Structure 1
Amino acid sequence: MGILNALAGNLQQVSNEQLLQQFGPFLFQGEQIQNGYQLIRDAVVFTNMRIIFIDRQGATGAKTRYRTIHLDTIVDVEVETAGAIADDSEINITYLKDVYQRKTGAETFGEVTLEFPRKFDVAPVYRQLGELALANRQRINSR
């Protein structure tokens, strides 16, 4: 079942120890892995500072791209739970692309979608990201 989910583009949870072994050299000082998910070669790692998207490229996967969304830029989160048959669950994260989070009226946004297998409980991930988005909105709008 794991390989079918991976081929379908669904993330599978991986132990923090395994993630630390693979991606520890790319963590910032004071950064700690909270949880992470992996496809066949690619991965998504949640830390106390950011979400790291690991994209292994090429036939061998030797070349790797690390992309980051800093947690303080997340401003909205949507969840779509799985249906009864073969649907997967999705979490859509909207984040500010602007480095300076000022009220300029010209903010630019990015969006990323994470897909999880039907049986994966997305509620804890959604709540964590949703609470973070709410705190970020309050912080940004209080300036």
Structure 2
Amino acid sequence: MIDFQNGSFFKLKQNDEYADKVAQLLLPDEKVISSFKAIRDGVVFTDKRIIVVNVQGITGRKVDYSSLPYSKISAFSVETAGTFDLDSELEMYFSGLGKVKLEFTGQTNLVEISKIIAGFAL
């Protein structure tokens, strides 16, 4: 599993590449809502959970998929981009896991993502 305790994980940008990569992991009635990618790693928001994709090793053949169900979120925080600080952040607190912090670049609509999380977690 990814070590989420070491501060921010990576900076993500909207990208559908990982939506295809996690398709084999989805339940028959589960649907992808949004997908993001950093240099090698990614995050996929579905209608049931968040799947964090951590590509490992030099060749990138080894991949860790961490499944974070919305039902385990006890609190979350959204920080939108500003004038000088162009990055936005999403912090979620999972029971049994602790804090997970994801950083997004540029034009990511974290307000919309927070509505999705609230709809499933509250």
TM-score normalised per structure 1: 0.70
**Unaligned residue ranges in structure 2 (runs of 5+):** 1-9
Asked if 1:111 corresponds to 2:95, the answer is no
CA offset at residue 58 of structure 1?
0.7
Q: Secondary structure at the match of 2:44?
A: strand
Partner of 1:101: none
Partner of 2:14: 13
Partner of 2:64: 65
101, 116, 119: which one pairs with 1:128? Answer: 116
Q: Normalized per residue, which structure has more helix?
A: 1
Tell me: higher relative CO, structure 1 or 2? Use CA pairs within 8 A at least 6 residues apart.
Answer: 2
Q: Secondary structure at the match of 2:22?
A: helix
Partner of 1:77: 76
What is the rounded CA distance, in whole Å, between the counterparts of 2:103 and 2:18 in structure 1? 19
CA offset at residue 19 of structure 1?
3.7
Q: Percent identity?
A: 31
What is the rounded CA distance, in whole Å, between the counterparts of 2:33 and 2:48 in structure 1? 10
Q: Normalized per residue, which structure has more strand?
A: 2
Q: What amino acid maps onto 2:110 in structure 1?
A: V
Asked if 1:34 corresponds to 2:36, the answer is no
- Alpha carbons of structure 1 residues 35 and 119: separation in structure 2 relative to 1, 3 Å: closer
Q: Please say which structure displays the higher CA radius of gyration.
A: 1
What is the rounded CA distance, in whole Å, between the counterparts of 1:30 and 1:62 in structure 2? 28
CA offset at residue 38 of structure 1?
0.8
CA offset at residue 35 of structure 1?
1.1
Q: What amino acid maps onto 2:108 in structure 1?
A: F
What is the rounded CA distance, in whole Å, between the counterparts of 1:122 and 1:38 in structure 2? 15
TM-score normalised per structure 2: 0.81
CA offset at residue 87 of structure 1?
4.1
RMSD over aligned Cα atoms: 1.8
Q: What amino acid maps onto 1:118 in structure 2?
A: G
What is the rounded CA distance, in whole Å, between the counterparts of 2:33 and 2:107 in structure 1? 21
Cα pair 2:48 2:69 within 8 Å, conserved: yes
How many positions carry a matched residue from both structures? Answer: 113
CA offset at residue 126 of structure 1?
1.6
Cα pair 1:76 1:130 within 8 Å, conserved: no
**Unaligned residue ranges in structure 1 (runs of 5+):** 1-8, 98-108, 136-143
